[in-house]
């Protein structure tokens, strides 16, 4: 679910932080820039892991801050395909069930990826699995807040960066950064297998 991304980038530290330890100041700036942001084709950045290498610092003309080339590792949320995770149902509509992990909400299970014989209940505004057993048919509701076990089947990165004619992207392996993770990174999941779905379905 979490991976370490190795990154090389030039970091600017403002003048007001010159009295601090260099590594501490650089770490603060990296977390300000990346924490809780989505990076295209990398994932949702969580926190700085460590600084691997730090070059010399330099000051550019007309800029009071100093710039330092650093190589660092960042903790990134990006589950692998077919990974099994447990979250909670956040919302339901006719098209899908939305699942949250607490720190990430954009996980969707479409109607076709629910258990067979599932239907959307307009009155209760939730999905229901019509489970048939030896003693008859049972309606199992997928209520908001319930814990659910699901499998990751697809991921989607969407470039939401505004672009202007003739503009060039900054020279960085982690650009562009998306401030709105809700728009730029989505996960498609499935519970269409035995053992997947609400944890209460398989207890007992």
Max Cα distance, the chain (Å): 80
Strand 107-110 vs strand 185-190: parallel, antiparallel, or unpaired?
Answer: parallel
Task: Identify the three-state secondary structure at position 181.
Answer: helix
Ramachandran angles phi, psi of 184, nearest 5°? -110, -10
Task: Identify the three-state secondary structure at position 201.
Answer: helix
For residues 90 and 107, give the distance between their C-alpha atoms in angstroms, rounded to a whole number.
Answer: 10
Q: Does residue 156 carry a pLDDT above 90?
A: yes
Q: How far apart are the first and last CA of the chain?
A: 28
Provide the pLDDT for residue 50. Answer: 96
pTM: 0.81
pLDDT tens for each residue of 159-171: 876 655 554 444 4
Provide the pLDDT for residue 166. Answer: 53
pLDDT confidence band for 143 (50 / 70 / 90) = very high
Provide the pLDDT for residue 172. Answer: 43
Domains of the chain: 2-77 (3.30.1490.120), 84-202 (2.40.50.140)
């Amino acid at each position: 679910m979490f991976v370490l991304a190795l990154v090389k980038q030039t970091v600017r530290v403002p003048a007001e932080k010159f009295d601090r330890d260099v590594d501490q100041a650089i770490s603060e700036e990296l977390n300000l820039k990346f924490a809780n942001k989505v990076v295209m084709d990398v994932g949702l950045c969580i926190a700085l892991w460590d600084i691997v290498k730090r070059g010399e610092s330099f000051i550019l003309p007309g800029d009071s801050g100093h710039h330092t080339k650093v190589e660092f590792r960042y903790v990134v949320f990006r589950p692998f395909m077919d990974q099994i995770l447990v979250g909670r149902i956040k919302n339901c509509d006719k098209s899908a069930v939305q699942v949250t992990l607490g720190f990430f909400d954009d996980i969707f299970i479409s109607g076709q990826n629910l258990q067979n014989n599932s239907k959307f209940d307009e009155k209760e505004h939730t999905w229901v699995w019509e489970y048939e057993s030896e003693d008859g048919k049972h309606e199992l509701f997928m209520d908001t807040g319930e814990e659910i076990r699901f499998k990751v089947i697809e991921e989607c990165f969407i470039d939401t960066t505004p672009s202007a004619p003739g503009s060039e992207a900054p020279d960085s392996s982690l650009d562009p950064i998306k401030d709105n993770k809700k728009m730029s990174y989505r996960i498609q999941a499935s519970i269409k297998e035995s053992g997947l779905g609400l944890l209460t379905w398989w207890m007992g």
